[in-house]
């Protein structure tokens, strides 16, 4: 599965709201899901994944996997480690030039994440990215929007 040609890692760091996904078992029913990245001095990426379980007032959940850049030429292919020593496939397959929207995919085409710097995106952007997910070989009938509701 092709990844984007290049990711400026420092620019990619920060908070990403999960707009839609084909969820892993831990994400099923997630509300207000946010993935946060921090580039550490050793080149690894500290990840914090937070969400509310089952409802906007559900129990807060937090996971802290670590990202490892596998392709340092593009910085777009990572190994994501939840449990040592296993590093799962994590590919940045779409990224807007302004780093405001992204798609994270896996070669196995089992899980996918549409993410943005804001908790909502225009419907046209969502439809375009969902179509890209389908073009990558995913069953987009499994794609689920993640409820996002933040006080302004």
Q: What is the pTM of this model?
A: 0.94
Q: Domain boundaries in the chain?
A: 9-144
pLDDT for res 68: 93
**Which letter does DSSP use for residue 121 in this model?**
-
Distance from C-alpha of 44 to C-alpha of 90, rounded to nearest angstrom? 14
Distance from C-alpha of 115 to C-alpha of 121, rounded to nearest angstrom? 9
**Which letter does DSSP use for residue 3 in this model?**
P
Q: Note the CATH number of domain 9-144.
A: 2.40.128.20
Does pLDDT of 144 surpass 90?
yes
Does pLDDT of 83 surpass 70?
no
Does pLDDT of 17 surpass 90?
yes
pLDDT for res 1: 81
Over the chain, what is the mean pLDDT?
A: 95
pLDDT for res 81: 83
């Amino acid at each position: 599965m092709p990844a984007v040609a290049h990711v400026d890692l420092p620019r990619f760091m920060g908070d990403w709201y999960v707009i839609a996904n084909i969820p892993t078992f831990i994400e099923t029913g997630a509300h207000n899901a946010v993935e946060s990245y921090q580039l550490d001095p050793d080149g690894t990426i500290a990840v914090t994944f937070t969400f509310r379980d089952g409802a906007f007032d559900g129990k807060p959940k937090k996971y802290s996997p670590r990202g490892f850049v596998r392709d340092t030429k593009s910085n777009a292919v990572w190994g994501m480690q939840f449990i040592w020593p296993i590093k799962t496939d994590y590919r940045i397959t779409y990224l807007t030039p302004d780093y405001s929207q992204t798609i994270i995919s896996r070669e196995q085409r089992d899980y996918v994440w549409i993410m943005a710097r804001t908790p909502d995106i225009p419907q046209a952007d969502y439809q375009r990215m969902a179509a890209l997910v389908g073009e990558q070989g995913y069953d987009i009938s499994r794609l689920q929007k993640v409820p996002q509701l933040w006080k302004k």
